[in-house]
A and B are shown apart, each in its own frame.
Chain A
Amino acid sequence: MKNNLILYIGILIFGIAAPFVFPAFKVQLSILCVLIVLATTWNIQGGEMGYNSFGNILFYGLGMYLCASVQVGMFFPLAEWTESGGEKTFVHTPAQFFQGMAVGLIVAAVVPTIVAGLIGYSILGLRGHYFAICTLGLGVAAGEISGGIEIIGAGQGFTTPPFPDVGSLDSRGEFFYFLSFFVLVLTFVTVRAIYTTRFKLILNAIRDNEDKAEAMGIETMKYKIIGWMISAFFCGLAGGIMGGLVGYIDSTDVAFDGREMGVFMVLMAILGGKGTLWGPIIGATVFHIFKEGFWTFFLGWQYVALGVLIVVIVIYFPEGIMGWLREKYPERFGEVVDEKDRKAQVELK
Chain B
Amino acid sequence: MISVQACLDGILLGILFALIAYGMALQWGVMNIINIAQGDLVILGGYIAYFMYLYGIHPAWGVIVAPVIMYFVGIAIYKLVINKVVDRDLFISILATFGISILFMQLMNFAFGADVVLANSDYGTTMLFNNNVVLPNSKIFSAFISILFAICLVIYMKKSKLGRAIRATAQNARAAKILGVDTEKVYAATFGINAALCGVAGALISITFTIHPYMGLPYTIRSFMIVIVAGLGNLPGVAMSGMGLGVFEEFADYILGTEFRIGSVFLLLVLILIYRRFKLSRKREYLK
A-side residues, CB < 8 A to B, are 52, 122-123, 125-130, 132-134, 136-138, 140-141, 143-145, 147-148, 154-155, 259, 263, 266, 270, 300-301, 303-304, 306-311, 314-315, 318
Q: Bound state CA distance, A315 and B94, in angstroms?
A: 11
A128 touches B90 (CB 8 A): yes
Proximity bits, B58-86, A CB within 8 Å = 1, else 0: 00000000000000000000000100110
A129 touches B263 (CB 8 A): no
Binds A, one of B11-19, B102-110, B238-246: B102-110
B287 at interface, CB cutoff 8 A: yes
Q: Which 3 A-B pairs have the closest CB atoms?
A: A307-B103, A310-B99, A144-B263
B100 touches A126 (CB 8 A): no
Given contacts A144-B260, A148-B263, contact A122 B95 (CB under 8 A): no
- Within 8 Å by CB of A307, from B34, B100, B270, lies B100
B273 at interface, CB cutoff 8 A: yes
Chain B binding surface, main DSSP class = helix
Proximity bits, B159-194, A CB within 8 Å = 1, else 0: 000000000000000000000000000000000000
Size of B's binding interface in residues, CB under 8 A:
44
A130 touches B273 (CB 8 A): yes
B215 at interface, CB cutoff 8 A: no
B91 touches A308 (CB 8 A): no
Q: Bound state CA distance, A311 and B104, in angstroms?
A: 12
Interfacial chain A residues near B224, Cβ < 8 Å:
133
Given contacts A133-B34, A144-B263, A314-B99, contact A303 B106 (CB under 8 A): yes
Chain A binding surface, main DSSP class = helix
Proximity bits, B270-285, A CB within 8 Å = 1, else 0: 1001100110010000
Q: Bound state CA distance, A129 and B95, in angstroms?
A: 10
Given contacts A137-B221, A308-B103, A315-B96, contact A126 B263 (CB under 8 A): no
B-side residues, CB < 8 A to A, are 34, 81, 84-85, 88-92, 94-96, 98-107, 110, 217, 221, 224, 228, 257, 259-260, 262-263, 266-267, 269-270, 273-274, 277-278, 281, 286-288
A134 touches B102 (CB 8 A): no
Q: Chain B's nearest CB lies how many Å from the CB of A297? A: 16
Given contacts A307-B106, A311-B96, contact A127 B288 (CB under 8 A): yes
Q: Bound state CA distance, A145 and B267, in angstroms?
A: 9
A144 touches B266 (CB 8 A): yes
Interfacial chain B residues near A141, Cβ < 8 Å:
263, 266-267, 269-270
Q: Chain B's nearest CB lies how many Å from the CB of A55? A: 9
Interfacial chain A residues near B259, Cβ < 8 Å:
144, 147-148, 154-155
What are 9 A-B contacts defined by CB distance under 8 Å? A125-B286, A128-B91, A128-B288, A132-B91, A301-B106, A301-B110, A307-B106, A310-B95, A310-B98
A315 touches B273 (CB 8 A): no
Interfacial chain B residues near A301, Cβ < 8 Å:
106, 110
A123, A145, A300: most-surrounded residue (chain B CB, <10 A): A145
A129 touches B99 (CB 8 A): no
B288 touches A263 (CB 8 A): no
